[in-house]
Structure 1
Amino acid sequence: MRNKLLFLVFFIFSYCIFSQQIVTWQDLAKVTFTDKYFVAYDDTFMYPTFLAPVKALEGKTITVKGYFLNIAPEQKIYILSKGPMSSCFFCGQGGPETAIELHFIEKPNFKTDDIIAVTGVLKLNQDDVEHFNYILTDCKAILVE
């Protein structure tokens, strides 16, 4: 009985450790952009081409650390940024690869610029200009600092 219990504990621990991958902003920078015209918007947008290391992450559960941006909580619009609000993508301090759209399981209680570690399923987005290039779904997060 003791051996079965030890095996079960080991299996659960291994599953928790290896079922998610720690990803850095440097990993997410493996993308190139070209300008692409979208007829529906009569405008040009930066179109991503995800390199092989990033493509390999699609659909996987990943964890990434960054700054929480509480953009519009009433509309459930939350972002994880490589830098704080004062130097984020929206302020021209980085490219689209420095921000991730977050879809939480439960409403988060973080404040803007809290440093958090978020775990979720990564979706790569090339064509929907109303959403970010990186989207994490089923998000859970913890405060890091």
Structure 2
Amino acid sequence: MPKVFLSLIFISISFHLFAQQKLSWEDLEEVSFHNIYNVHYDDYFLKPTFGPIIKSYEGDKITIRGYFLDFSYEEEFHMVSRNPMSSCFFCGGAGPETIIEVIFRNKQNYKTDQVIEVTGILELNVEDVDHCNYILKEATAKLVQ
């Protein structure tokens, strides 16, 4: 019995560590926010506290489907959102947990509000107010719609 139990635990951990995980936007809601003062900007920002389940995905390769947002001007800055541009957290009533900053492995040519499925390494950002709370690094994507 103990060998079977240990084998199941090992398989479960291995699957979590090495397999690509498909997350939903509901999974990213396991976060709470509180205001914290930032001296550099002389303003208050929402600081996230991530729950244990979403923290367990940090550093993992994950996939999520959402609306592509392109904010590139002088340098590339992309996000994927739970909602289209008109309903995202800075334009509508959603929260910062509804967007993920995406750092693509290669330059992408998607247009804002195209639905994509993006895969990358999940980083949870607590401190850097110049970036989103969720970041996907080394990302690739495919057009869904």
Quickly name the TM-score band, shorter chain normalised.
0.7 to 0.9
8 A contact 2:86–2:92 mirrored in 1: no
1:65-86 per-residue CA deviation (whole Å, 9 max, x = no partner) reads: 0000111165110010000011
More helix by share: 1
**Alpha-carbon distance in 2 for matches of 1:118, 1:60:** 13
Match of 1:49 in 2: 49
1:86 aligns with 2:86: yes
Unaligned runs of 5+ in 1: 1-14
Aligned length: 129
Deviation at 1:105, TM superposition (A): 0.7
Distance in 1, matches of 2:73 and 2:61, equals 24
The answer to whether the 8 A contact 2:115-2:144 is kept is: yes
Matched residue, 1:75: 75
RMSD in angstroms over aligned alpha carbons? 1.4
Residue-by-residue CA offset, 1:72-126 (whole Å, 9 max, x unaligned): 1651100100000111111032111000000001111111100000000000001
Q: What pairs with 1:4-19 in structure 2 (closer than 5 Å)?
A: 19=19
What is the alpha-carbon distance in structure 2 between the residues aligned to residue 83 and residue 143 of structure 1?
16
Percent of aligned positions with the same letter in both sequences?
51
Note if 1:102 corresponds to 2:109: no
For residues 109 and 42 of structure 1, the distance between their equivalents in structure 2, rounded to whole angstroms, comes to 36
Once the 2 structures are TM-superposed, how far is the Cα of residue 42 of structure 1 from its aligned partner? 1.4
Q: State the match for 1:140 in structure 2.
A: 140
Give the match's secondary structure for 1:91: coil
Q: Which amino acid aligns with 2:53?
A: P
Secondary structure of 1:86's match?
helix
Q: Which range moved further: 53-62 or 64-73?
A: 64-73
Summarize the alignment of residues 58-69 of structure 1 with structure 2, pairs less than 5 Å apart: 58-69=58-69
